[in-house]
């Protein structure tokens, strides 16, 4: 990127935008290979990220001669009550482990909209490490810069899936800095550290509009035993129980919408769902 700036200042805008996306080697990795990279890669350097609330860091990792960055999150705060912009939240928890739970849940749902997250100890602290989405901009910046997605229909479909996800995990902090847009205009959901609340209602049911068919089918068959097996390391029983109840409420909502409006008006297909996790990163 720096070389790009020095050698071709006049074509900077185009060339750097085109080449700041994912590396070819990274795009061919499977989910478990990306996870292995994050878990075992040597941390070469760590620096602050000038964004966000809980101040995660950005680390450069090296593994098998390849380098890639990761976001390192160590937050683990529990409070009986916490003042947020939306009001007072009781039994507040901000926890790095929810990031890993979010990724594992996205894999169960074959959503492919959450970049890989793993658990690992960094500098003596337990942390989540996420695969850095190269060249991404935050949804907040996209809106501020008034950048229009090239395919508005496809964009809306992705956004509706994001909304379903936020209702499912009951994210108390679904802000626009937690949604990244990669260079191919794919949306990536990050930062679940304030999600997985034990509430069994949907926080904002009005946010549900339409649903991806495969996501709805996965929600319909969500298996509590599988969730317990794969998520109980990060989530308490009450958090998993609430998740299952919210999933069935989402399914009920869309079933009623289909009955009232017809399937074509409610369900659609996002091509990237059912692909491996992190495909395209």
Total residues at interface with ligand ADP (CB under 6 A) = 22
Biggest CA pair distance of the chain: 60
CB of 77 to ligand ADP, least distance (A): 11
Stretch that binds Mg ion, among 7-15, 47-55, 88-96, 106-114 (CB under 5 A): 47-55
Interacting residue with ligand ADP among 42, 47, 51, 143 (CB under 6 A): 51
Listed residue (278, 274, 279) closest to 109, CA to CA: 274
d(CA 128, CA 96): 6
Nearest to ligand ADP by Cβ — which residue? Answer: 52
CB of 12 to ligand ADP, least distance (A): 21
Interacting residue with ligand ADP among 132, 160, 170, 234 (CB under 6 A): 132
d(CA 30, CA 23): 14
Residue 179 binds to ligand ADP (criterion: CB under 6 A):
no
Interacting residue with Mg ion among 178, 182, 186, 274 (CB under 5 A): 178
Give kind and range of the element (H or E) at residue 178: none
Within 8 A by CB and 6+ apart from 131, the residues are 34, 37, 38, 68, 70, 115, 116, 117, 278, 281
Give kind and range of the element (H or E) at residue 80: strand 76-84
Listed residue (203, 247, 202, 195) closest to 221, CA to CA: 247
d(CA 120, CA 38): 8
Pick one of Mg ion, ligand ADP, none as the site partner of residue 136 (Cβ within 5 to 8 A by kind). Answer: ligand ADP
Q: One symbol per residue from 180 to 199: x for binding ligand ADP (CB under 6 A), - otherwise; what is it?
A: x---------xx-x------
Nearer to Mg ion, 35 or 191 (CB): 191
Contact assessment for residue 269 and residue 216, using Cβ atoms and an 8 Å cutoff: no
* Contacting residues toward ligand ADP, per CB under 6 A: 49, 51-56, 71, 73, 115, 130-133, 136, 138, 177-178, 180, 190-191, 193
* Contacting residues toward Mg ion, per CB under 5 A: 52, 178, 191
């Amino acid at each position: 990127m720096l070389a790009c700036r020095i050698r071709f200042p006049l074509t900077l805008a185009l060339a750097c935008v085109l080449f700041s996306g994912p590396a070819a080697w990274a795009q061919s990795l499977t989910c478990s290979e990306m996870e292995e990279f994050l878990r075992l890669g040597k941390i070469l350097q760590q620096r602050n990220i000038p964004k966000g609330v809980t101040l995660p860091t950005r680390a450069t990792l090296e593994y098998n001669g390849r380098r890639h960055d990761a976001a390192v999150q160590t937050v683990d705060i529990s409070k009986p009550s916490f003042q947020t912009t939306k009001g007072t939240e009781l039994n507040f928890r901000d926890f790095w482990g929810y990031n890993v739970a979010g990724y594992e849940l996205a894999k169960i749902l074959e959503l492919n909209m959450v970049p890989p997250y793993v658990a690992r100890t960094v500098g003596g602290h337990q942390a989540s490490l996420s695969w850095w989405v190269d060249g991404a901009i935050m949804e907040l910046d996209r809106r501020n810069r008034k950048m229009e997605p090239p395919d508005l229909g496809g964009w809306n479909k992705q956004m509706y899936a994001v909304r379903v996800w936020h209702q499912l995990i009951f994210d108390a902090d679904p802000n626009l800095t937690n949604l990244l847009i990669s260079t191919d205009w794919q949306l990536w959901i990050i930062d679940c550290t304030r999600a997985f609340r034990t509430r069994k209602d949907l926080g904002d049911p009005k946010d549900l509009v339409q649903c991806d068919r495969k996501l709805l089918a996965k929600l319909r068959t969500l298996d509590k035993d599988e969730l317990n097996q794969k998520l109980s390391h990060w989530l308490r029983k009450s958090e998993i129980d609430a998740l299952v109840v919210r999933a069935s409420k989402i399914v009920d909502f869309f079933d009623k919408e289909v009955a009232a409006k017809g399937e074509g008006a409610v369900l659609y297909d996002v091509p990237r769902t059912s692909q491996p996790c992190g495909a395209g990163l």
